[in-house]
Homo-oligomer: A and B are copies of this chain.
Amino acid sequence: MTVAVIGTVAFDSIETPRGNHDRILGGSGTYASVAASLFAPVHLISIVGQDFPDSHIAFLEARGIRTNGITRAQGQTFHWKGYYTADMNQAHTVQTDLNVLLEFDPLVPPKAQTADIVFLGNIDPALQRRALAQFVDPKLVVLDSMNYWIQDHLASLKETLKHVDLLILNDQEIRLLTGIDNVVQAIPVVQAMGPGRVIVKKGEHGALMAGPKGLVSFPALPLRDLVDPTGAGDSFAGAIVGVLATSDLQDESSYVKALITGILVASATVQAFSLGRLEQLDQGAISTLFSSYKAHIPIPDTI
């Protein structure tokens, strides 16, 4: 099956305790599409400015990501500048230059309109709906969002959620969306808004997933070396939709495999700036990560 990703393509200027880099390739659409491309053909729908180098486009195309849905507008590419302190849990924004993102109006190319899985990355919920309306009966609609849209555009986000099959948020966002502190209690409230399936990201603590057959919980891969957390959540989501594109979207076990793969891919992403580690992943590397993951969770048959 094919995947369409709607999201941002950005330049990131990032400082972490492990170094700093200016204007490196980033953006939710970039991370998600590169992660998804490990498993399935991907269409990326986004917008960049005149300053966006052809070499980045060529890099995406070489990975099997169709880029004719990336509008090249007059002006500068979206630029985010931020830093992380030692705990690496929280991104601190120094400067956000929305630039061409201000005029982003997703235009889904004809060949992308029949994508089987649509991933609506973290943008204005109204734009997410406008993008979604251009697809012909997708089999699975997946959505990411963030605290800004939950706080300031809640009605619009709720309207979008009615059309979503799988919602991916972090634990703070789930609490914000529902006003419920206990995530296990909050999940059914979110499901009542539309998404039959919900994945709750918990960073270094792993992830929960609630679907029609109940709740599962997986730890993260314990990491000694964290270089740059940027893109962890986007590559997590991208890997999930990529793996799901290789499944029948029915078996619960497919969703579990997708979730674990998301955890492993995210753990690779944070071990380098930009796409440095993510772009090197292949099935062999993911299998090796999975062997390590299983070894970290030696659940016995009985206790």
Q: Which residues of A contact B (CB under 8 A)?
A: 86-88, 181-185, 202, 204-206, 208, 214-220, 222-224, 226, 243, 253, 256-257, 260-261, 264, 286-287, 290, 294-300, 302-303
Contact = CB atoms under 8 A, between A and B. Distances in A.
19 contacts: A88-B181, A182-B223, A182-B226, A184-B223, A184-B224, A185-B224, A202-B205, A205-B205, A205-B219, A208-B222, A215-B222, A215-B296, A216-B296, A216-B298, A253-B300, A261-B303, A264-B303, A286-B303, A287-B303
B206 A205 contact: yes
Nearest to A205: B205
A135 to B, nearest CB: 28
Contact of A206 (B219, B264, B298): B219
A297 B300 contact: no
A300 B256 contact: yes
Contacts of A299: 218, 260, 294, 297, 299
Nearest to A87: B181
Contacts of A226: 182
A217 B297 contact: yes
A86 B175 CA distance: 11
A220 B184 CA distance: 12
